[in-house]
Amino acid sequence: MKAILILLLAATQASCSLFEKGDLSLVGEPWRLWSVEIDDVAIELPKDESYTFFLKEDTTATGTNDCNECTGFYQLGNAQVQIQLACTESGCRTPVSSFLQFPSLLSVADSFQVAGKTLRLFSVDRRERRHVLTFRPGS
């Protein structure tokens, strides 16, 4: 009985150390925005613009907001996520990138789900609207 308790304690400590490093299925993979839904309504994404992010094992994050570069940090734990990115704001193909709220949508995400090669970030904004951002691997 004592041996079982010691093994359970060791397993718990090992899982905690892995937990602190974050969900490895999310970290180390470039993610490209595939779709956005707000209150179950699909938002059309600009076809000629790219929105991506990449979470590094050192808790730094990088990404793109159309042609702008983004840097920041993230925290993961127990299917919860916080991503904060700051992006340059240069004019890209148009005077203003048509989807500048991408970093804001990432920053309000509070939970995630990885299923196969699909990542979904979930949030509720100040107006109580539900957001679902769907990503697929790719840069």
Domains of the chain: 23-137 (2.40.128.270)
Is the pLDDT score of 8 beyond 50? no
pLDDT score for 63: 92
Per-residue model confidence as pLDDT tens digits over 97-130 = 455 578 888 888 999 998 888 999 999 888 888 9
**Whole-angstrom Cα distance, residue 10 to residue 118?**
32
Closest Cα to residue 65, out of 102, 24, 33? 102
Residue 13 pLDDT grade (very low, low, confident, very high; cuts 50, 70, 90): very low
Q: Is the C-alpha dihedral spanning 94, 96, 101, 107 positive or negative?
A: positive
Range in 1-10, 64-73, 112-121, 125-134 with the lowest mean pLDDT: 1-10
Q: What are phi and psi for residue 18, nearest 5 degrees?
A: -70, -40
Question: What is the tally of helices (H) and strands (E) in the chain?
Answer: 2, 9
**Whole-angstrom Cα distance, residue 54 to residue 71?**
9
- 1: CB partners within 8 A, 6+ apart: none
Percent of the chain scoring above 90 in pLDDT:
37
pLDDT score for 21: 38
pLDDT score for 139: 72
> Rg of the Cα trace of the chain?
18
pLDDT score for 106: 87
Range in 12-21, 64-73, 107-116 with the lowest mean pLDDT: 12-21
| H or E segment to which residue 33 belongs | strand 30-38
